[in-house]
Amino acid sequence: MNYITDYFDETKMPDEALFQELVHFDELNFPYAWTLNSWKDFCRTRKFHLFLYRQNGQLQASALFEEINDGEVGHLHKIAVDQSARKQKIGYNFMMACVRDLLERGLSGIYLEVATKNEAAIKLYEKCGIEVQRRVKNFYSNGDDAYIMYNY
């Protein structure tokens, strides 16, 4: 099964309707949702890779990466699976498809930060071969600690 049904980057920008859909999806499914302006600013100013997975037209999963270290590494900013579709291996299959795609595009690995209390995400990343490297205290604005994880 193909877990990447839509792909966008700075050469193929999301249109207004998709930005609105992403904000709505974020608000429903992501712990730190971005505003419409944050989404647009990010896509205008960063070298990004946005992956989507739809079933019957409905957005089921999204992941947003940014190229860092001169395009060597993909920094995962957010991944989410729709609440109604969780725990069915969609997150795992989708994340693995995104990682494979980025490696095929020439990146050497994935880097990310995750709240130490986000057990589901940490387990998912570990299952995908991305390992905890260290803990950063008070990483998030609400005081939560983060793990730094990467696979290169």
Q: How far is the CB of 129 from ligand COA (least distance, A)?
A: 12
50: Cα separation from own chain's centroid: 8
Asked if 52 is part of the footprint of ligand COA (rule: CB under 6 A), the reply reads no
Strand partners, 110: 74
Does 131 participate in binding ligand COA (rule CB under 6 A)? Answer: no
For residue 31, the 8-state DSSP code is S
- Per CB under 6 A, the list member of 23, 59, 81, 110 interacting with ligand COA is 81
CA distances to 24, 96, 129, 147 from 124, rounded to whole Å, are: 23, 10, 9, 14
Q: Which segments of the chain are extended strands (E)?
A: 6-9, 48-55, 58-68, 73-81, 109-115, 131-136, 146-150
Q: 25 or 70: whose CB is closer to ligand COA?
A: 25
Return the number of the residue (50 or 114) whose C-beta is nearest ligand COA.
Answer: 114
Interacting stretch for ligand COA, rule CB under 6 A, among 28-36, 51-59, 97-105, 129-137?
Answer: 28-36
Q: Which residues bind ligand COA (CB under 6 A)?
A: 29-31, 78-81, 86-92, 114, 118-121, 123-124, 127
